[in-house]
Amino acid sequence: MAKKYKKIVGNMLIAQSGGPTVVINQSLIGAVMEARKHKQIQKIFGALHGIKGILGEDLIDLGRESLETLKAVAATPSSALGSVRKKPTKEDCQKIFEKLQKYNVRYFFYIGGNDSAETAHIINEEAKEADYELHCFHIPKTVDNDLRENDHTPGFASSAKFVAQAFMGDDLDNAALPGVKINVIMGRHAGFLTAASALARTYPGAGPHLIYLPERAFDVTQFAAQVQAQYKKYGRCVVAVSEGIVDAAGTPIAAAYTKEVDSHGNVQLSGTGILGDFLVGLIKQKTDISRVRADTFGYLQRSFPGVVSENDAKEAFAVGREAVKCAVGADIDGSIAIRRKKGAKYQVYFERVPLCNVAKETRHMPDNFIAKNGCDVTKAFLNYAAPIVGKLPKIGRFKRVKAKK
Amino acid sequence: MAKKYKKIVGNMLIAQSGGPTVVINQSLIGAVMEARKHKQIQKIFGALHGIKGILGEDLIDLGRESLETLKAVAATPSSALGSVRKKPTKEDCQKIFEKLQKYNVRYFFYIGGNDSAETAHIINEEAKEADYELHCFHIPKTVDNDLRENDHTPGFASSAKFVAQAFMGDDLDNAALPGVKINVIMGRHAGFLTAASALARTYPGAGPHLIYLPERAFDVTQFAAQVQAQYKKYGRCVVAVSEGIVDAAGTPIAAAYTKEVDSHGNVQLSGTGILGDFLVGLIKQKTDISRVRADTFGYLQRSFPGVVSENDAKEAFAVGREAVKCAVGADIDGSIAIRRKKGAKYQVYFERVPLCNVAKETRHMPDNFIAKNGCDVTKAFLNYAAPIVGKLPKIGRFKRVKAKK
């Protein structure tokens, strides 16, 4: 258990990090609105572009924003404070800590994924070492749904909804003009978002007919044969592929075709159509199917306004609020995890967990979510994902009674 | 003027052709529901996959579908009868005409773009030659908005809404993690859909910062310099590029990188990320900007359920209804064009125009819609497009008052 502290009076600083989501501002505003209720929090600083804004003292006064603005920002996609992918060095963290002291920051909140949890963890350790009372919290966010300790993470459900809706439409497009259609979905190491494509199946024979996840080795020869088999069965084939698919040796399929890496050492997977085009080439080479297309859903998955899961928006707001509640209570540090209550009805609760439990490492799709053939999901996954994602559009189809002359 | 005919009693056949849209079924159901009101229309056949279904006698009985199904199908994206890209030969048209006679079809409706209008036109000429009374109508559809005679075409406004919303989100994503972001938009010869990205600009400095249309020659060296200039000004740059951009000689920029053509002789532009990746390479090569990404919006632009312009859905239904009204009236053939009333308030009316006026040729963006610098749109275009597209999501932004220590 973390050491218990008194309610120290001081300023708050909040920042956003990593890839944006459509609900990351809900978490920001959830925290800010909760903070406004507590006297021990004096000024509320927003750092622009994460730790970069702290290092450069590029701070804005969130106490000066109207309630109307806060509400409008909450409902707006992408990080309103700006974001960053920079991973702080040991010296960076020391400098960040100096800045926090300079601005008398006693309440620090960092919204992001596991890389961001790690950053918060390092800064927190600095503060501990210096015996400086810093209430330091990570607020979860990631469309990849790959944070440990969490049943699911804010941002995932809305992106999953986008992916599911996109597949609903694209499957009907493919049914109208048959062929092979490959859609490349975000998710570097975890297949949750790609798996969500399965929610699009609302009638017998609906796509996606094949789903490839980073959790299972991708075999190019098998891939062509599997597509061929589905094409033979349905006269068409819709495929969901994670951008992060790897071969048996664990090498990303996309890696040979792109070189760009960020400062976390991650290969660039989004913002390019190269994996999809490579897979199209494979199918054309190894089968006699002529109409083969690929789309890479890209950044739309994490930024499209108007396609938001209601649960996701509420929960994203709640984790921000809960982080502040914990911080102004007796807790010194942690991350807010979303847990699911047992029972038929979908309900969640929130729990503070140690920063190091969430930092750095990635949660993967559990085995019981992945079909035995390695290219589909199970009913267990659908039961898991459907209530989080919520309502999807209805699809109407003709009975198609054959006409008589 | 077309010859006037009596109200002949017989069957109706309707089919869908070309790339699907999210409202193409509105037109289908608009026609079917109107047809049900008229006694001279007996059976209502739907041909599966356009002329392919006529040639193969793959017809369904639309009289056997419930009102509930019709309403559900109307609200569902993509061609519910299936589509086709096949261009009929002279012999095909003769065979199609034989099939229409065999099924006693006197009312024929073909929903599609200019290629489809051409098909209807050819079949119509066959009927005339044989002195067979066929009420033959084209019902307009195209996300490209490139049909002559029309103020705008059903399908365009919903796709434009998708593009505008996508850019709203992606612009905020780019503001959060600055760099150059290139988005490739559908539109083979007409830039309307790419131009619609400009509707995403809701605050000073908002992207897209550059818009490249097929109506203006694309210069690779100028492109890099223009991106560099915007990047210098804003610290970032969001670019909208039509998939159909051409060089000064009229050669599509994408043409050297892809070989697939359909039976209308069109190069494959959608379903590949190759143009976007090529443009990213250009910027990386010619500037020192490191974060450069491209997304190709692909088929989502024409198939995404739930992002529908209200006007578009209504008008798409209306053109189907109007076509049947004309056909059961005294008109023998034509296409239904959407015209806009003059005046401050957005209002449209429908007019029957000759098939040959719509067939084959493409309407382009008029000069007064394109900025003088060739890489933006004008206020006249925004005034034209905004009322058709309708309501877009609201964007909330902080005032960003600098914090004091």
**Is the model's pLDDT at A80 over the cut of 60?**
yes
Q: Name, in order, each residue with C-beta under 8 angstroms of B146's C-beta and a sequence gap of 6 or more.
A: B113, B114, B153, B187, B189, B190, B192, B362, B363, B364
Instruction: Write down the catalytic residue from A144, A146, A170, A333.
Output: A144
DSSP 8-class letter at A115? H
Strand partners, B352: B336
Which stretches in chain B have pLDDT values below 50? 1-2
Confidence of residue A5 (pLDDT cuts 50, 70, 90): low
* % of chain A surpassing 70 pLDDT: 94
Q: Is the dihedral of CA A121, A127, A133, A134 positive or negative?
A: negative
Same fold, A10-154+307-358 and A158-303+365-389: yes
Residue A180's pLDDT is: 98
The whole-angstrom separation of Cα B386 and Cα B160 is: 10
How far off is chain B from A144, nearest CA to CA, in Å? 16
Residue B256's pLDDT is: 59
Residue listed under structure tokens 């960092």:
A110
Residue B1's pLDDT is: 43
Residue A1's pLDDT is: 43
Given A62, A83, A173, which is nearest B78 (Cβ)?
Answer: A173
Q: What are phi and psi of A184, to 5 degrees?
A: -95, 125
Q: What is the pLDDT of residues A136-178, one digit of tens each?
A: 999 999 999 999 999 999 999 999 999 999 999 999 999 999 9
The whole-angstrom separation of Cα B154 and Cα B170 is: 26
Lookup: tokens for B294: 């491209």
The whole-angstrom separation of Cα A206 and Cα A200 is: 8
- Cα–Cα nearest to A65, from A82, A54, A80: A80
How far off is chain B from A198, nearest CA to CA, in Å? 16
Between A89 and B156, name the one with better pLDDT. Answer: B156
In chain B, whose CA is at the least distance from the CA of A99?
B405
Given A25, A45, A295, which is nearest B298 (Cβ)?
Answer: A295
What stretches of A114-155 show up as alpha helix (H) in DSSP? Answer: 114-129
Residues of A in contact with B59 (CB under 8 A): 402-403
- Does the beta-carbon distance from B396 to A280 stay under 8 Å? no
Residues of B in contact with A176 (CB under 8 A): 16, 20, 49, 78-79, 82-83
How far off is chain A from B361, nearest CA to CA, in Å? 23
How far off is chain A from B116, nearest CA to CA, in Å? 15
Confidence of residue A236 (pLDDT cuts 50, 70, 90): very high
Give me the helix-helix angle, B274-286 and A274-286, nearest 10°. Answer: 130
Q: What is the mean pLDDT of residues A212-231?
A: 96
- Does the beta-carbon distance from A166 to B405 stay under 8 Å? no
Write down the pTM of the prediction. Answer: 0.95
Residue A255's pLDDT is: 76
Confidence of residue A258 (pLDDT cuts 50, 70, 90): low
**Among this protein's residues, is A144 annotated catalytic?**
yes
Strand partners, A126: none
Q: What is the mean pLDDT of residues A290-307?
A: 95
Q: What is the pLDDT of residues B211-260, one digit of tens each?
A: 999 999 999 899 999 999 999 999 999 999 999 999 999 888 887 555 55
Confidence of residue A265 (pLDDT cuts 50, 70, 90): low
Q: For all residues of chain A together, what is the average pLDDT? A: 93
Query: CATH code for A158-303+365-389?
Result: 3.40.50.460
ipTM of the complex: 0.95
Query: CATH code for B10-154+307-358?
Result: 3.40.50.450
Residue A263's pLDDT is: 52
The torsion defined by the Cα of A173, A179, A185 and A190, in degrees rounded to 10, comes to 130
Q: Name, in order, each residue with C-beta under 8 angstroms of A398's C-beta and a sequence gap of 6 or more.
A: B46, B60, B62, B65, B69, B73, B80, B81
The whole-angstrom separation of Cα A96 and Cα A122 is: 10
Whether B166 contacts A295, CB under 8 Å: no
Q: b/e string for B206-238 if b means 16 or more Cβ within 10 A? A: bbbbbbbbbbbebeeeebbebbbebbeebebbb
- Does the beta-carbon distance from B72 to A170 stay under 8 Å? no
- Identity of residue B8: I
Strands (E), A196-236: 210-212
For chain A, how long is the longest CA-to-CA vector? Answer: 88
Residues of A in contact with B19 (CB under 8 A): 177
Instruction: Write down the catalytic residue from B115, B144, B333, B376.
Output: B144
**Residue A21: Cβ within 10 Å count:** 32
The whole-angstrom separation of Cα A194 and Cα A205 is: 19
The whole-angstrom separation of Cα B402 and Cα B405 is: 10
Residue A7's pLDDT is: 75
The whole-angstrom separation of Cα A104 and Cα A89 is: 22
Please determine, looking at this structure, whether the domain spanning B158-304+365-389 carries the CATH number 1.10.300.10: no
**Residue B405: Cβ within 10 Å count:** 9
Strand partners, A185: A242
Q: Write down the domain spans for chain A.
A: 10-154+307-358, 158-303+365-389
